[in-house]
Amino acid sequence: MAVVKLSRDGGAPFFRDDETVPGLLARAAVERPDHVYLRHDGHDLTCAGLAQAVGQLSAGLHAAGIRQGDRVAVMLGHHLDHVLVFFAIQQVGAVLVPVNTALKGPSLEYQIAHCAPAMVIADAEFSQVLEGPVHAARSSGALAASVWRMTDGELLPAPGTDLKNLRAEAVVALPVVAHDPRDLRIILYTSGTTGAPKGVQMSDRMVQATALGSIWLSDMRPGSVLHFWDPIYHVFGAEVLVLALMVPVTLHMVPRFSASRFWTEVREAGASHIHFVGGVLQLLLKQPPSDLDRSHGARIAWGGGCPRDVWAAFETRFGVEIREGYGMTETSSFSTINPGGSHAGKLGSIGTAVDYFRVEVVDEQGQPCAPGQPGEIRVAEVEPGVLTTGYYANPEATAGALRDGWLYTGDIAEMDTAGFITYHGRKKDSLRRRGENISAWEVERVVNDHPEIAESALIGVRNEIGDEDLKLFVRRIDGSTLDGATLLSWCSERMPRFQVPRLIRFVENFRKTPTQRIQKQFLSAAMDDFDHDAEAVKASSNKD
Look at residues 283, 332, 234 and name the one whose alpha carbon lies nearest to residue 453.
Answer: 283
- pLDDT range class, residue 298, cuts 50, 70, 90: very high
- pLDDT range class, residue 516, cuts 50, 70, 90: confident
- What is the percentage of the chain residues whose pLDDT exceeds 70? 92
- pLDDT range class, residue 205, cuts 50, 70, 90: very high
- pLDDT range class, residue 539, cuts 50, 70, 90: low
Whether 436 shows a pLDDT value over 80: the answer reads no
Do the Cβ atoms of 188 and 388 come closer than 8 Å? no
pLDDT in tens, 496-506: 777 889 999 99
Per-residue pLDDT at 191: 56
Instruction: Provide the pairing of β-strand 333-338 with 436-439.
Output: unpaired
Mean of per-residue pLDDT scores for the chain? 90
Per-residue pLDDT at 289: 96
- pLDDT range class, residue 343, cuts 50, 70, 90: low
Question: Residue 427 class from Cβ within 10 Å (0-12 exposed, 13-18 middle, 19+ buried)?
Answer: middle
pTM recorded for the entire structure: 0.83
Whether 75 shows a pLDDT value over 60: the answer reads yes
DSSP symbol at 518: B
Do the Cβ atoms of 119 and 146 come closer than 8 Å? yes
Question: Residue 372 class from Cβ within 10 Å (0-12 exposed, 13-18 middle, 19+ buried)?
Answer: exposed
Phi and psi dihedrals of 326, rounded to 5?
Answer: -150, 145
By mean pLDDT, which of 280-294, 411-425, 459-473 is the weakest?
Answer: 459-473
Whether 136 shows a pLDDT value over 90: the answer reads yes
10 vs 384, higher pLDDT: 384
d(CA 448, CA 451): 8
513 vs 41, higher pLDDT: 41
Whether 1 shows a pLDDT value over 50: the answer reads no
CA 239, distance to chain mean position in Å, is 10
Whether 177 shows a pLDDT value over 50: the answer reads yes
Domains in the chain, CATH or no CATH each:
35-179 (3.40.50.12780), 201-426 (3.40.50.12780), 434-543 (3.30.300.30)
